[in-house]
Structure 1
Amino acid sequence: MNRALSGAVELRDLTDTRELDGLFVLHLVSEGSPVRDLALISDLEDIAAVGPDTVILLAPGETRGGWMISAALRYAWERRACAVIIPEQPFTASVIELAKRLGVSLLSTRRDMTRLALDVAIRIGAARAESAARVRSAVDRLAAADDPAQAVALLSGELDGAPVWVESAGVRTFAAPAGAGGEPRPSGPPVTLVRADLSPRDGDDGALRAAVPAAAAGFAGALLAGAAPSLRALLLELRLAATHDSLPAVAITALTGLAPVAAFDEPAFQSPAGISAGPFDDAFHAVCLLSDEPERLGALVHQLWRLAFPDSPLARFDGGWIGFLPVTDPERGAESLDRVRDGLVHTAGLPLAGGASQVHRSAAEARHAVREAWLAARLADPSPDAPRADAFVDFGRIPARLLGRLVPADLAAQLVDVLYPRLLGDPGAGQIIDTVLAYLSSCGSVSAAAVRLGAHRNTVQTRLRRAEELGVTLSDPAEVLPAHLLLAALRRRER
C-alpha cells in the first residue's frame, strides 16, 4: 500500500536520519507503523489522554530513572501509542526488553524535545495536507464518471486496488475490482472495513464501503466520505433513467387495475397496443416482484435489476415492481428467469416474492402478461421455512400446493371471524387451528398429524373433537377444503 494513502507519516520517516537527525532506535516494532499524532509529555499521567498511533516525547524531567521510562512504556501500551522517544541517557537493558514485550517502539535523542516535537508536527501536518489534496483531486475526477461502476473502479484505483463496493440492505451492487470480496482472508493481511453513508438520513441508498490495510483507514475514510455525494448522484441518475425508460411498463401496470401506480401520474396511453417501447416486437416474459417493504428495498431492487438487465426497464407500483424481459429463444428466456430468481429473489434472503408470466408475443398481450406475473408472485411464498423454489413462481408451472395462497390473509381473518366465531373465542384457538391444519395436510391421518406437531396421538384427537364442537366441520368434503384454505391464510397472517 502506498505510504501516502495512510494520511500520516510512518515511523520510518522519523528514523530516517535524512529527515530527522539525532534519533536513535532502541527498539522498532515496525517501520510502517502510522504516526497520526504526537504528544510532548511533562507529566507521566498525561499519557492516559493520548490516542492510538501517537508518538510520545518525554520531557527530560520525566525520564529520571528506568522505572519512569518503564511506566511510560506501560501507559503507551495501554493507549496503543506507537512509539516513545526519550532523552539520551544510560539505562538498563530491562527497559528495552519491556518495550519488546509490550510491542512499543522506543527511541532516544540528543535533541531538544520541544524542537523535535515541532519538526514532527510539521511532518504530520504536511502528510495530512497531502492526503486532503489527494481526496479533493479524486473527488474532482469522480465528476467525469459515467456511472457508479466507473466511479467505484476509480476509488479502488486510488486505494491501490483495494476492494470498494456499494452496499444496500446488506447486498453489494457495484464492486471493484470486479468480483472482489471485501472480507479479510484468513491467510491474507488483516484489513479494516471503512464505510461512508450514501444518504444523510441513513436512507435506502445504502453505503459506500472499502476494505483497506489498517494504515490506510484514515485516508480511505476521508476519500469515501468525499466521494459519497457523487456516488449518490450517479445512483439517482440511474434511477431517473430507469424511471424514464419504465414509463411504458408503468402504463401497462396502471391499465391492469392490479394496484394504483406509485410516484407517477398515469401516462396518457389508451391501450397497450399504443406503446412503442418495450420488448413487444418479439416474444417476452413479464416479471413481477412483490415485497412488504418496497420503500426500504426500492433502491436495491432497481440497482440489482439494472446490473442484470441494463436494457430492460423496471416499473414500480404499490407493493412491487413489473419488468419485461425479451425471449430471443427458450434457453435464453429460461436463463433470464434464473437470473431474476437467483440474483434478486434469493439474494441475501431479501423479503421478495417473484413471479413470471408465460411467453407472450405482442403488445396487445402485455396486459395479460402482467396479470399472469402478478398472480404468480401472489402465489409465491418467500418465508424462510418454505421451499426455496416457492419464492419465485412461473405462471406456466404453478404448484397446486400454492393455490391456497390466493386467499388474502386479511379477507381470511374476516371470514373466519364470521364463520367460526366460537373457534376464535376459545383460549386454545391457536393450538386447535394448527392441529386441524396438520390433520388436513396429512390426508386425515391422526398419527401423521401427531408426528408433524410433535404431540401425542390422543392430544391430536382431543383437539380435533374440540374443533368440531367449535363449528369446524371435518367430515364433510365440501367444507374441508374451504376451512383448510381460510385457516391456513389466517395463520400466515398471524405469523
Structure 2
Amino acid sequence: MSGRPSTLPITLGELMRIQPLSDTDAHLFDPARPVEQVVLAETFDRLRRCPPHVLVVLHDEAATGGWSLAAALHLAWERNLSAVVVSRTVAGSSSAALAERLHMSLIVIDADPIDVALQLAGQVSAPAAARALRQARLAEQLAEQTGIRGVLGVLNRELRPVSVALVLGEMVLAGQAAALVDRGPVKQVEIAVSAPGERSAARLVAAVPVPGLAVDQVESLLKLARPSVLAAWAQSRLDAAGRAAHEQAAFELLRHLSHSPPAEPAEIEVEVPSWTGELGWEVGRANRTVWLAPVRPGGVPSAEVTHLVRAAWQRGHASWPLIAEGDGWLSWHSGADPDDTSALRRALAGFRDSAAAHGLVAGVGRAHDGIAGLMRSVAEARLAAHVAREGGPTTVQWFDQVGASAALAWLPTTEIAQVADLCLADLMAARDRDALVQTVLAVLDCGGSLSQASARLGVHRNTVLARLTRARQLGLTFEDPGQRLALHVICYALASLEPLSSAGTVESTP
C-alpha cells in the first residue's frame, strides 16, 4: 500500500456515515455504488440530462408531490443514477416501495435540500477529506467503547456490508465469524493486533465484498481501530485473569473444606460458604463436573491456551467456572435436577469446534450434592476424560458409561512399555510387533475365543493362529496363568502407545 489518500470516487455507503446523511432515513439498494457528482435537480429536464453515477437532490418543481417523486425515481432508474435525495414532506410509504421495486436508493431528509446538496457536493468533490471526516467520526465512536465486543460492533456497523472479526489462530474472539468464510467474491484484509513482547498475535480480519469498498480504505479503518482493540483486549484479559485467580483460590479453599474432618461425626456435609454466591456458584445444589484435557498430555498448559479455552468455554455460559488443574481444566454446572443434562450438553456441543482446534477431549462426572459431591464429581470427570483420550479429539465420555474400565485410564502406560523393552526384548525388536500385540490383546479381551478375536480384528482365524504362534516364540506365553494378567496389561499399554505402522494390518476396535 502506498499510504496516499484514496482518490477513488466516494461511495454511497461512505456518504451515509457522515453528515448530512448520517441521521437520515435511507432505503439503500447498493451502498457500494460510486457517487461521482451531486446534482440539485429543480426540473425534470435537468433530471433527464444527468449522467450515470450521480446523486440527485430533488427540489422545487421536481419535488412537488408523490407523483413527481414517482416520476423522478423512474427517470433515475433509466439514467442509472446512484441515489435520489428528497424532502420528507414529499416522500411516503408508497415511494419507498417503488424505490425498492426499481432497485433504486432513496434517501429522505429533513434539512433544506439546497444546503444538503451543497454539503454533499463538497464531499463528493474531495473524497479524501470526506473519508477523513468519516475516520474522525469512527474514532470518536471507538473511543467510547470499553469492551472488545463493543469495538467490533462499531466496526461491523460502520463497515457494513464488510464483516470484521478479531481472530486468534482460527478462533473468533469477537465480531462476525463470516469474516473467515470464503463465500462469494470477497477480498480478505488482515491487520495484526498484538502488544509488545506477545508471542501469539491476534488479527483483525475483514471480508470485503468485491466490488465494494476499496481494500485500502478498509485497511486504514482497521488500523484506526487497532489501538481501541488493544486497549479493550488488554482490559478483558486483566479482568479474565483476575476472575480466574479468584476462582482458582476459591476452588482450592472448597477442596480444603471437603477434606477437613467434621467437628462432629454427625456432620457429614460441609456447609457451603456464603462467599461462593459472589462468584455465582451454587455448589449447594447438584453439581456435575466437566474435565477438559488434551489428547496428548504435555504438562501444564500455557497461560495463552488457558485464556483461549476459558473464552470458548464460557461463551454463552459466563457464570460457569473454569479451573486450571494439572494438564487440563475443570468446570461444573449446578442445578436443582441432577438428571437434567440439557444445559451441559448444549455447552459441550458449542465447545466442539474449540475442542477440535486445541485437540481436547471432555470427561463428564455424575451429579452429586454439595461440596463433597462436587469433589467426587471432579474425580469422576477426570477418570472419564482419561478414557475419552482413546477416542481422539472432541470425544466426550460420561462417567456413567465408563464402569470398571476407568481403572485402565490410570495405568502408567509409558512406564509399562519401558518394562516391556526389558522383559520382552525379542518382541519389541520384531518388525511385526504391532500386529502381534493387537492380536494377543484381542484374544485375551475375548476370553481366549479365536473366532471372536478374528472377527474383531477383521482377519481370518488362521491368521490369528499364525500370529499367536509367532507371539509365543517371541516370549508372549499368555497361556501361563501366572503370566496372563501381566501380559494382558503389557499388551494393553503397548496398544495404547503404539499405532499400527504396517499397511497390511487391520485396526482393532478399542
TM-score normalised according to structure 2 size: 0.60
Q: Is 2:288 the partner of 1:285?
A: yes
2:189 counterpart (184, 189, 194): 194
> 1:428–1:164: structure 2 CA closer, same or farther, 3 Å change rule?
same
1:394-413 alignment, distance < 5 Å: 394-398=398-402, 403-413=407-417
1:23 aligns to what? none
Paired residues of 1:204 and 1:297 also in contact (CA < 8 A): no
- Residues matched between the structures, number: 375
Paired residues of 1:279 and 1:326 also in contact (CA < 8 A): yes
Q: Report the Cα distance in structure 2 between the residues aligned to 1:363 and 1:268, rounded to whole angstroms.
A: 8
> 1:463–1:157: structure 2 CA closer, same or farther, 3 Å change rule?
same
Offset from partner CA, 1:281-314 (integer Å, 9 cap, x none): 3222222211246336333211112213111221
1:316 aligns to what? 324
- Report the identity percentage: 27
> 1:436–1:378: structure 2 CA closer, same or farther, 3 Å change rule?
same
Q: Is 2:248 the partner of 1:250?
A: yes
Q: Is 2:345 the partner of 1:338?
A: yes
Paired residues of 1:204 and 1:298 also in contact (CA < 8 A): no
Equivalent residue of 2:478, what SS?
coil
> 1:168–1:11: structure 2 CA closer, same or farther, 3 Å change rule?
closer
Paired residues of 1:193 and 1:211 also in contact (CA < 8 A): yes
Q: Is 2:430 the partner of 1:426?
A: yes
Worse-matched range after superposition: 167-176 or 248-257: 248-257
1:207 counterpart (203, 218, 227): 203
Query: Is there any run of 5+ residues in structure 2 with no aligned partner, and where?
Result: 1-10, 16-31, 40-51, 55-122, 261-269, 500-510
> 1:460–1:146: structure 2 CA closer, same or farther, 3 Å change rule?
same
1:465 counterpart (454, 457, 469): 469
Query: Is there any run of 5+ residues in structure 1 with no aligned partner, and where?
Result: 19-29, 33-122, 258-266
> 1:455–1:370: structure 2 CA closer, same or farther, 3 Å change rule?
closer
Offset from partner CA, 1:380-423 (integer Å, 9 cap, x none): 12654x8x7xx222223325556533323322323323443332
> 1:309–1:414: structure 2 CA closer, same or farther, 3 Å change rule?
same
Let me know the Cα RMSD of the aligned residues.
4.3
Q: Report the Cα distance in structure 2 between the residues aligned to 1:124 and 1:348, rounded to whole angstroms.
A: 50
1:127-142 alignment, distance < 5 Å: 127-128=127-128, 130-131=130-131, 134-135=134-135, 137-142=137-142
How far did residue 477 of structure 1 move?
Answer: 5.9
> 1:373–1:135: structure 2 CA closer, same or farther, 3 Å change rule?
farther
How far did residue 450 of structure 1 move?
Answer: 5.0
Worse-matched range after superposition: 142-151 or 396-405: 396-405
> 1:480–1:270: structure 2 CA closer, same or farther, 3 Å change rule?
closer
2:14 counterpart (4, 7, 11): 4
Q: Is 2:236 the partner of 1:238?
A: yes
Paired residues of 1:283 and 1:360 also in contact (CA < 8 A): yes
1:416 aligns to what? 420
Q: Report the Cα distance in structure 2 between the residues aligned to 1:157 and 1:396, rounded to whole angstroms.
A: 47
How far did residue 446 of structure 1 move?
Answer: 4.2
Q: Is 2:223 the partner of 1:225?
A: yes
Q: Report the Cα distance in structure 2 between the residues aligned to 1:315 and 1:270, rounded to whole angstroms.
A: 19
1:325 counterpart (324, 330, 333): 333
Q: Report the Cα distance in structure 2 between the residues aligned to 1:125 and 1:451, rounded to whole angstroms.
A: 80
Q: Report the Cα distance in structure 2 between the residues aligned to 1:462 and 1:191, rounded to whole angstroms.
A: 60
> 1:374–1:195: structure 2 CA closer, same or farther, 3 Å change rule?
same
Offset from partner CA, 1:45-75 (integer Å, 9 cap, x none): xxxxxxxxxxxxxxxxxxxxxxxxxxxxxxx
> 1:442–1:469: structure 2 CA closer, same or farther, 3 Å change rule?
same
TM-score normalised according to structure 1 size: 0.62
> 1:213–1:269: structure 2 CA closer, same or farther, 3 Å change rule?
same
Paired residues of 2:191 and 2:219 also in contact (CA < 8 A): yes
1:354-433 alignment, distance < 5 Å: 354-381=362-389, 383-384=391-392, 391-398=395-402, 403-433=407-437
Q: What is the one-letter code of the residue matched to 2:474?
A: L
Offset from partner CA, 1:88-140 (integer Å, 9 cap, x none): xxxxxxxxxxxxxxxxxxxxxxxxxxxxxxxxxxx999545544554454344
Q: Report the Cα distance in structure 2 between the residues aligned to 1:382 and 1:140, rounded to whole angstroms.
A: 53
Q: Report the Cα distance in structure 1 between the residues aligned to 2:146 and 2:363, rounded to whole angstroms.
A: 33
> 1:450–1:376: structure 2 CA closer, same or farther, 3 Å change rule?
closer
